[in-house]
Structures are given as structure tokens and as C-alpha cells.
Chains A and B, each alone.
Chain A
Amino acid sequence: MKKRTLGLIVYFILLMLPIYWMLNMSLRTNADILSVFSLYPRHFTFENYMKIFTDASWYSGYINSIIYVSLNTVISLATALPAAYAFSRYRFIGDGQMFFWLLTNRMAPAAVFLLPFFQLYSTVGLIDTHIAVALAHCLFNVPLAVWILEGFMSGVPKEIDETAYIDGYSFPRFFTTIFIPLIRSGVGVTAFFCFMFSWVELLFARTLTTTSAKPIAAIMTRTVSASGLDWGLLSAAGILTIVPGALVIWFVRNHMAKGFAMGRV
């Protein structure tokens, strides 16, 4: 018992160290960071955070990210819910193959799809829009969402559907008032996975945007310049990027394990 506690403490120190270090740096000035080694900020400053919150080119990055991430989460759920229901309830020709094929979309590296997406979006004039990034991320999020939701849905007995039809429910009414509340936690976990993937994804988000939909991850690269790195600012932006993810994790923390097992626990 003692050994285990000790082990866990060591583990958490190692785990939290980079994050602590980032927090530490975000509260110091560049001159301070580069001159002395310090475990805590000696000349405490919010200057870096102030810059992010006041400079439109910085905070708009967060707004852009939030917009396309939310869009993506909504689109992914809206498509995956009916798809997962079909996979869990009906047998049709090629259902097994199709279900597996969905997952193969996640097997290829994102870079493979980058060029086609860029070409296609340039042609239809979608470049530098929020919806462009949201749609591109669906390529990865919809299959994952279908897999997770199918697992949760298969845990609900088919007889519940039948009882609802016998009681006279129409399909849309049954689906929204009875079925979705039953897989609430599954929907939450799926939304979390979509949110997290879309939030941390850099490649698509950076390539498909230029200015008006530029995500925060891309803006952070601006801290690198000829005069060196703006360490403090970069750290502050990093800390602010962790916050939304941490919040979402906090909300779904009790359902995470089931979600990782794609609802099959």
C-alpha cells in the first residue's frame, strides 16, 4: 500500500512536470526565463495572458478553434447517431464489411487526405472557412463516433424499440424521447472524443485555413521569429489550450473507460 502510494506520487510528478513548467514559464517574462533557472516565477507577471486576451489576432484563434470544433462535434453526432442505430438494429447486405470499412478511414495517416482536401476545397471555395475544417475532421470523427455509439446502442435491448412501437410511438419520437436518453453517457463520451480530436488536430486545420478561420494551434507558431522564440507567450497560449480539454474531460470523467472500450463494457 505504501509502495503503491509512493509510486503513484512519482508517476504524477513526472506526468505533471511539463505542464507545471509551462505554467511556470507563462507567468514569467522572456528575459527572466532566459536568464535564471527557477522552479517558480520570481517576477510574477500576467503580461503574456494579457496579450492573448487583448490582441485580436491571438484570441480570434481560440474563437475560430471553438467554432469549427463545435461544428464538427454537432455534424459528427448528427450523422453518427442514425448510422450507428442502423448498424446496431438492422441486418443489410454488406453491413459487416461497411462497419469495418468505416474504421479503415482512421488507419491512413491524415497527410494522405491533405492534398485531395486542399484541391477540392480550393475548387469549391471552401478554403479558410470554419465549415471546411469541421467537415475535414468528420473524416476521422464520424467513423469513431459510429463505432462508439453502436456499442452503446447494442447494449439497449431491441425489445425496448419494439415495445415503443407497440405503444404507438413514431420512430422520430421514440428515438429522441426514449432511445437517446438511454445512451446519454455514450453520446457524451462520443462528443468528448470528437471535441478532443478536432481540438488538437493541427495539420488539416492549418492547411485549410489562411486568416479568417485560423486555429489557435497555427497562431501559436507565430511565436517563432527571427529574433528567437517568445517563450512566455507560447507557454501562456499552451496553458489556455489545455483548459477547454480539461473541462470537457471533467464532465465525462465517469464514462471515459466505457467510451475507450467503444461502449462494449
Chain B
Amino acid sequence: MGLSLQNLHKSVDGEIHLSGIDLTIESGSRTVVLGRTLSGKTSLLRIMAGLDRPTRGAILVDDKDVTGVSVRKRSIAMVYQQFINYPSFTIFDNIASPLKVAGMPRDQIKKRVMEVAKVLHLTGMLHRMPAELSGGQQQRTAIARALVKDAQLLLLDEPLVNLDYKLREELQTELQEIFRQRDAMVVYTTTEPGEALKFGGSIVVLDGGRVIQTGPTTQVYRNPANLKVAEVFSDPPINYLDCRVDANTLTLKSGLSIPMTGHLKGLTPGRYTLGVRSNNLSLGRRNKLDMELTARIKLAEINGSETFIHVDCFGSRLVVQEVGVRSARIGSETSVFVNPARFFVFTGSGDLVLSPDPFHQS
């Protein structure tokens, strides 16, 4: 059992939503689709589900073409970003509905529903109506309905995005456990790099309706194929520094030169773009190899227990991620420290040349 998409195109009213998608999803695998809003994640999922027909291309399940097959005849389950339940059914009937349609005997339905409800902590509210539940409980009902029927393909379209932070974290962990226990293909979309990393499995990075990289999630995180992937797969987006390599020195736009040691050794002369994730920038020296950049503070944004400090460094906008709630004086001069061992190196056109050694201790 495997799903493969061949040269899929989808356009609606002349607007291209997906183009040239070639993907293979192995049976029993977990795939996360990462992309910004409007990158085509939902369109891709809807085509996989069979809710929409691709403009061109084919969908194969076990090497059988199912492109035009109606949703009812496919073995899929789907959870939407919005909380979608049948408002006139109780929670029990909501979860039981796919089984009832399939004609399962009553006592068996009850057993299955109770099992799933237990996993998703819905046991106490089975007799209530969806409108009487909180958002998290409603979404759990939708997930329960998707899990109850043992579909071959389980699609989740940003299922946790409308939940509050606490609940999201909780469900993220719970879902990992639930997915691990099934052998269905799970496809999960998200805009958040952190969620994608938690999900693990393999990843499909989408941008502007195209697949820009696929592979095991952690590997893609460590080796983004180009600047676009690095941007999508970093939160906040990866920082850029333009530089020039002559003979044996690497010079930043600010005039600062960096010794070419470690993974930077052996770069051929030319122009490059250095990429560095915000968590590798800091306002204090963390390592004796750290180099110091002078910058001006533009903005400090407190996000939960972290502070994002936006600084201007010789015309490049950098975002420094600092743990804890920090206050920073806007407009003041500061030093930003970065270990050159953490630099990604991209060519001028944005393709990855070098990535930091993941096992190198900074």
C-alpha cells in the first residue's frame, strides 16, 4: 500500500495552486507537509483525499489510478483546520458516524467509540452536543472520528492551528503516540517548523504550489536545499548575511573577515549568502570562537518565554532569539555574537553549498 502523485497540476480560475507535484508516500509512513499559508498545502491534501480533481496528473494507490474515484469509495479520513463536526449529532454519534454508515453492529460500534474516546479524553462528554464543548474538545472529536474507522490514509490539515498554545502542545505529543500505534499513512500539514520537527517522519516542503524539498525531516532541517527551504523551515525565518570569499578570507559586507576554518574550509572564491538561524545568534558571548557583529536594535518582540530582538547589521536585518524575557533599548548599539561553525552557505542564486556539521559542538 502506497500513494503516489504523478505530475499533479491544479489551477482554479487561471490561478495556479499546485504545479508539477511528484510525490510517493510509503505505506505506514508519516509525512509532514510544511509550507507557508497559500503554499498549496490544503490543495494538495484535498487532491490526495479525492475531494478535488487535479487539473492534470494522476494519483495512484497501490499502482492503481484512482484520480477520478469518488471520496466515498476511498479509504481516507480527514481532519480540517476548522472544527468540523455534525452539529445535530451528539459526540458519540459524531464519532460513530463512519462506523454506522459502514454497517457495523451496534455493540461493536460502542466498543470502538469508547476505545477512541478514551485515547482522546472524550469519555465524559459523549452524550453532549459539539456546540457545548470547548474548541479543543471539538477538534478532538473530529480527530476521534477520523481515527475510529482505520482508514488507509489519514489526512490532517493544520489540525491544531486554531487551538490555544497549551492545548496544542498537549495534543501534539498525544497525536505522535496515536500515529505511532497505527500503520496508516499519515499526512499532516503545518506552517510551523517546530511542529514539523516534533512530528518527525519525512517532510515535503511546499512553496508557491511546488515541492521544493523532500526527505527525512531532521535531515532536511539540517541541510535545507536552498534559501527558500531554509526560510520556510526556520522560525523566525533564517537570517542572511552577504559575503565574499577571496583566496583564504571570507569578508562580510560590514568589512569583518572571518577565518575560514571548520566546514567553511575549502570554499572557492566568489560571492555567497550566509544563513544563520536565530537561535544561533545571541547578545552575549557563548563561545570563544564567537565572532562579534555590531548592530542597532530595531525592535524587541517578546514571545512566550523567548525574546526576538530585531537588529540592523550594516543593512542586513537579523533576528536574535534570546531565552527569557529581555528588555532592549530601541535604537541602541549592541553586539551580536555568532559562531561561524553555525553558518549555512548558499550560492548567490540560493542553492546550498555547505551546512554546519550537526555533531560539531559549538
Contact = CB atoms under 8 A, between A and B. Distances in A.
Interface of A: 157, 159-160, 162-170, 173, 178, 181-182
Contact of A163 (B70, B84, B88, B102): B84
Contact of B98 (A167, A173, A182): A167
B42 to A, nearest CB: 11
The 4 closest A-B pairs by CB, nearest first: A167-B98, A168-B101, A181-B88, A159-B84
Given A166-B98, A169-B72, A178-B86, 4 more contacts: A160-B84, A167-B98, A168-B98, A168-B102
A152 to B, nearest CB: 13
A148 B151 CA distance: 38
A162 B51 contact: yes
Nearest to A159: B84
A170 B78 CA distance: 17
5 contacts: A159-B82, A168-B102, A169-B72, A169-B101, A170-B72
B78 A157 contact: no
Contact of A165 (B71, B82, B88): B71
Given A165-B72, A167-B145, A157 B102 contact: no
Interface string B55-75: 000000000000000111000
**Contact residues on B (Cβ < 8 Å of other chain), bracket:** 20 to 34
Contact of A178 (B49, B77, B82, B88): B88
B78 A163 contact: yes
A166 B49 contact: yes
Nearest to B145: A167
Interface string B90-103: 00000001100110
Contacts of A182: 86-88
B246 to A, nearest CB: 58
Contact of B97 (A157, A167, A181): A167
Contacts of A168: 72, 98, 101-102
A157 B101 contact: no
A165 B77 contact: no
A169 B88 CA distance: 16
Nearest to A91: B13
Contacts of B76: 166
Contacts of A167: 97-98, 101, 145, 149
B362 to A, nearest CB: 46
A188 to B, nearest CB: 14
A166 B71 contact: yes
Contacts of B80: 159, 163
Contacts of B72: 165-166, 168-170
Contact of A166 (B78, B86, B88, B102): B78
Nearest to A167: B98
Contact of B71 (A157, A159, A162, A173): A162
A164 B142 CA distance: 12
B89 to A, nearest CB: 8
Contacts of A166: 49, 51, 71-72, 76-78, 98
A165 B72 CA distance: 5
A26 B76 CA distance: 67
Nearest to B79: A163
B95 to A, nearest CB: 10
Contacts of A163: 78, 80, 84, 86, 145
B138 to A, nearest CB: 13
Interface string B115-139: 0000000000000000000000000
B82 A157 contact: yes
A96 to B, nearest CB: 15
A160 B86 CA distance: 7
Chain B CB within 10 A, most for which of A166, A170, A178, A182:
A166
Contacts of A157: 82, 84
A157 B142 CA distance: 15
Interface string B321-357: 0000000000000000000000000000000000000
Nearest to B157: A159
A173 B101 contact: yes
B283 to A, nearest CB: 46
A213 to B, nearest CB: 39
A178 B98 CA distance: 13
B102 to A, nearest CB: 6
Nearest to A180: B88
A181 B93 CA distance: 14
Contacts of B49: 166
B14 to A, nearest CB: 14
B101 A165 contact: no
Contacts of B70: 165
Nearest to B77: A166
Nearest to B73: A168
Listed residue (B70, B84, B102) with the most chain A CB atoms within 10 angstroms of its CB: B84
Interface string B275-302: 0000000000000000000000000000
A162 B79 CA distance: 11
Nearest to B102: A168
A174 to B, nearest CB: 9
B39 to A, nearest CB: 20
A182 B86 CA distance: 8
A182 to B, nearest CB: 6
A171 B24 CA distance: 31
A164 B77 CA distance: 10
A173 B100 CA distance: 12
Contacts of B101: 167-169, 173
Contacts of B89: 178
B49 to A, nearest CB: 7
A173 B49 CA distance: 21
B75 to A, nearest CB: 10
Contacts of B87: 160, 182
A184 to B, nearest CB: 8
